[in-house]
Amino acid sequence: MIFHRESTGFPLNAVREIKFLKFLSHRSIVQLKEVVTAKGCEDRELPVKSDHKGETTSSSNKKAKKEEGNSSTITNPTTSVVAHNEENDGKDILKLCGNLYFVFEYIEHDLSGLIDSKYSFQPREIKCIMKQLFEALEYLHEKRIIHRDIKTSNILISNDHRVKLADFGLARQMPYSEFGREVTRSEAPLTNNVITLWYRPPELLLGATKYTTSVDIWSAGCVMAELELGRPFMVGRTELEQLDCIFRTFGSPSEDTWPGLTTFPNYDKFYNPSAANTANTTTTSSSSSGKSRGGGGGSAPVAGMVGMVGIPSYGNTVRSLPLSDSSFHLFDRIFVYDPNRRSSAKGCLTNVYFLTRPLAPLDPRELEPLAVNDGQSFHEYETKQQRKKDEELKKQQQQQQQVLLDQQRIEEEQRRVTTAHPPPPPPPPLFPPPSHQPSYYPPHPPQQIPYDRVTGKRQSNTEAYR
């Protein structure tokens, strides 16, 4: 667990994680084995600061006068920690704290890592995964717990297809009144800055602060579509782009299909009737620079959507996706704009999707193990790091290839210039060399072979030099 230096106190997400995982017990929820702490400097005495009058006051005394100047002096020689101003006391305390470790059961993969590695799930495998996920959500929702961060990277899966739901740092339990009556949505405002953008339902994108467990069902539907397609379902860079991806896929909502649509806080922000002139002059050619990978084949969201009069009219294009009829039947129950009419986890488990062949196995271990190498694991962090390394390697190879192409282009240009315009011959030397080289040592005269005085014949070399 990372303690953020800019915050003070124990992290809230760690408190929620420990609270829910110690309380929950389900075969499809990750098991928290132990919480381990590493001893820090908590037992050491906190720095003692001296005021301008020479009196010493400890940092625990909240009524001490604020010291003037940049820093204070240390009067206690037993500590080596430098005392800072009062506004930095929180950071100093965090520096004294030890580390916190969560010990979970080991699961080999998560869905995001497998999808990033281009693993292709079979229809029966997808049904097995979604059945376990909806069973975990049914267990949570019966206890009135909203996960609020359902996504592929938080769904762990083992080699024998056992699914474990993890990461309860954003989970929240719906409150009850003092008489045991359920607190209605109007009495329990919640934050809408939850759930990863690609899996966030439209009511949260429009600024709703009163919602129920139905937000988890929408996110689970996005996970199912991602498993079917092998890629993220609806991808937006901003809340407005994500809304546009949803509307282009499932059609534009209205007050008839979604009562109370115009009462959401962000409706006037995104679709402001007072900006009619701006909306009328905005054309579809002014699209955003980045293309959306999500949606049912729609184009990128237009940049002029902010301030448009009403929601743009889109048709339902989800049927163009390469999915089975039973999948569309479940989608029709999950991807409903009105949260009150959206199916529950229990309703999803009884849908036609899970009653048609191929049926999900009762025991996930009945399926063949995942087609991965022994000892190999795929998690989102690892696949991202590997993808980053591959991109850097590919970039280096492209740079090297570009350097070689540039060198070849320069050599070819030089060769072409040389062929078209040959260089002129070199000028003659100012002092030409002589026709023959003078001999400093004259050659020896030919050797005369003597004659024999008696016979008159020429003697041989051997006889002449006897």
Residues annotated as part of the active site: 149
DSSP 171: -
Bond before 422 cis per omega within 30 degrees? no
Scanning the structure block, which residue is given the tokens 């989102």?
A: 380
| CA separation for the pair 148, 404 (Å, rounded) | 52
Scanning the structure block, which residue is given the tokens 């003697």?
A: 459
- The contacts found for 363-367 with CB under 8 angstroms, 24 or more apart, are 364/128, 364/132, 364/160, 364/161, 364/162, 364/163, 365/160, 365/161, 365/162, 367/124, 367/125, 367/128, 367/160, 367/161
| CA separation for the pair 216, 194 (Å, rounded) | 11
CB 353 within 8 A of CB 375: no
| CA separation for the pair 324, 244 (Å, rounded) | 25
Closest CA to 128 of 331, 347, 369: 369
Give 296's Cβ-side CA count (13 Å radius).
19
| CA separation for the pair 341, 217 (Å, rounded) | 12
| CA separation for the pair 156, 370 (Å, rounded) | 13
| CA separation for the pair 372, 158 (Å, rounded) | 11
User: Distance from CA of residue 272 to its chain's centroid?
Assistant: 33
Scanning the structure block, which residue is given the tokens 């991965």?
A: 372
Closest CA to 171 of 1, 342, 22: 22
Residue 58: strand pairing partners: 48
Q: 102 φ, ψ to 5°?
A: -100, 130
| CA separation for the pair 443, 15 (Å, rounded) | 111
Residue 32: strand pairing partners: 104
Q: What share of the chain is helix, strand, coil (3-state, %, to 5)?
A: 40, 10, 55
Whole-Å CA distances, 106 to 102, 151, 213: 12, 19, 28
Angle at 458 between CA 455 and CA 461, to 5 degrees: 125
